Amino acid sequence: MAEIRVDHLRKAFGEFVAVQDSSFTVEDGAFLALLGPSGCGKTTTLRMIAGLELPTGGTISLAGEDVTYKRASERDIAFVFQLFALYPHMNVRRNIGFPLLAQGVPKAEIRTRVEETARLLQIDHILDRPVSGLAGGDRQRVALGRAIVRRPKCFLMDEPLGTLDAEFREVMVRELRELHNRIHATTVYVTHDQIEAMAMADRIAVMNHGVIEQFGTPQQIYDRPASMYVADFIGSPPMNFIRFDAGLPKGARTARIGAAEIEMPALRAEVAPGALALGVRPEHIRFSDASPLRGAIYGTEYLGTNQIVTVETQGGLVRARLPAGQSYRIGEPVGLSFKSERLSLFDARSGRVIPSVLHEGALRREARHG
């Protein structure tokens, strides 16, 4: 097992830049999710780490060794493809044993290792079946088997659950994470599904248009998004943005939005007058009649234990996650209050977050842990 270090990685296809300038490190044994919408360069990044695509610039190192221009076969990594790429002319056993055959492992040992792997993944009963008749989940496990049988330096997975139906996907998410806990293989996992990323990863890199917008733990990404893009991409429903124009001094603890004076974490930088956006997670909103920030109920969405209530305000639609008990009439006037210590303030033009105490505390905490 090994650490993966990616440094100023760049990939252009002719004029089009698929990956701009990515740098990140996946620590030995860690599980990184590359998360982003379709076409943002996740697969391209992964293929460069695998050696299936040569970078236009930057370096990649595995376990301290520069492998940027090494062949895929010399990197000692395993790759799980989105459509699994199980060899259709081989049965399950030969599929799983195929990487060992390349290393010249003796026949008897291949046999025992394939069987061990199959037991780990609970597919030992289908070892002699052809792969063509297998159900989605079993194909998934065979693909995983082929990846882990060799005990490679790291695993790269490209949306391995993308083709499974939603119900089964949840089962596989759990299985994958359990597998990771057992074998502690450094893993880079590509997905466009935030729930998968949140559930499995130790670290998440959120990508957009070839740029890594934020790299951090799931909690950091959720609680302290580095940009409006990340805030909007993560969370369901996503973070609310209340837009307003203002200039704020360093250390400001309140912002005036319309008639309301809203408390927020003290800013650590001065903000020049301009368009701003206050970011509020739906679960950090409560209704309070006393609040000067007013709105009217626009719609409700019942989710069982809680409900999503949409409120129309001067600054746009705001969604709140509230306990399911109370019911609201459309058009009913309400006042909104926010959990002030969890708010983020963004520069609406650049989309970047404005640093505040929220981030500082986090930085200190991370420094202690790191």
Ligand X SMILES: Nc1ncnc2c1ncn2[C@@H]1O[C@H](COP(=O)(O)OP(=O)(O)OP(=O)(O)O)[C@@H](O)[C@H]1O
43 binds Mg ion (CB under 5 A): yes
251 binds ligand X (CB under 6 A): no
Overall residue count recorded for the chain in this entry: 370
150 binds other proteins (CB under 8 A): yes
Nearest position to Mg ion, beta carbon:
43
Residues 3/77, Cβ–Cβ less than 8 Å: no
User: What amino acid occupies position 314?
Assistant: Q
User: Which single residue is written with the structure tokens 């290792």?
Assistant: 113
* Residue among 9, 42, 287, 320 that touches ligand X (CB under 6 A): 42
Please, which residues have CB within 8 angstroms of residue 363's CB and are 6 or more apart in sequence?
Answer: none
Question: Would you call the peptide bond into 265 cis, given omega within 30 degrees of 0 as the criterion?
Answer: no
51 binds other proteins (CB under 8 A): yes
Residues 173/200, Cβ–Cβ less than 8 Å: yes
Interface residues for other proteins in 244-283 (CB under 8 A)?
Answer: none
Residues 295/313, Cβ–Cβ less than 8 Å: yes
Residues in contact with other proteins, total (CB under 8 A)?
25
Residues 240/202, Cβ–Cβ less than 8 Å: no
Nearer to other proteins, 121 or 248 (CB): 121
d(CA 326, CA 16): 52
Which segment (38-46, 92-100, 141-149, 357-365) binds ligand X by CB under 6 A?
38-46
d(CA 208, CA 22): 11
Residue 69's binding partner among ligand X, other proteins, Mg ion, none (Cβ under 5 to 8 angstroms by kind) is none
d(CA 234, CA 165): 22
330 binds other proteins (CB under 8 A): no
Nearest position to ligand X, beta carbon:
43
54 binds other proteins (CB under 8 A): no
Question: Least Å distance between CB 79 and ligand X?
Answer: 13
d(CA 254, CA 262): 5
Residues 36/210, Cβ–Cβ less than 8 Å: no
Max Cα distance, the chain (Å): 78
d(CA 80, CA 143): 6
Residue 297's binding partner among Mg ion, other proteins, ligand X, none (Cβ under 5 to 8 angstroms by kind) is none
Contact string (CB under 6 A) for ligand X, positions 171-210, x = contact = ---------------------x------------------
d(CA 33, CA 334): 39
Interface residues for other proteins in 89-118 (CB under 8 A)?
Answer: 89, 98-99, 102-103
d(CA 119, CA 240): 47
Question: Least Å distance between CB 330 and other proteins?
Answer: 40
Question: Least Å distance between CB 335 and other proteins?
Answer: 51
Question: Least Å distance between CB 89 and other proteins?
Answer: 4
Q: Which two tokens stand for residue 96?
A: 């799983």
8-state DSSP, 174? H
40 binds ligand X (CB under 6 A): yes
* Residue among 44, 227, 300, 307 that touches ligand X (CB under 6 A): 44
146 binds other proteins (CB under 8 A): yes
Question: Least Å distance between CB 127 and other proteins?
Answer: 18
Q: Binding residues for other proteins, per CB under 8 A?
A: 50-52, 71-73, 75, 77-79, 81, 83, 85, 87-89, 98-99, 102-103, 132-133, 135, 146, 150
Q: Binding residues for ligand X, per CB under 6 A?
A: 13, 16, 18, 36, 38-44, 192
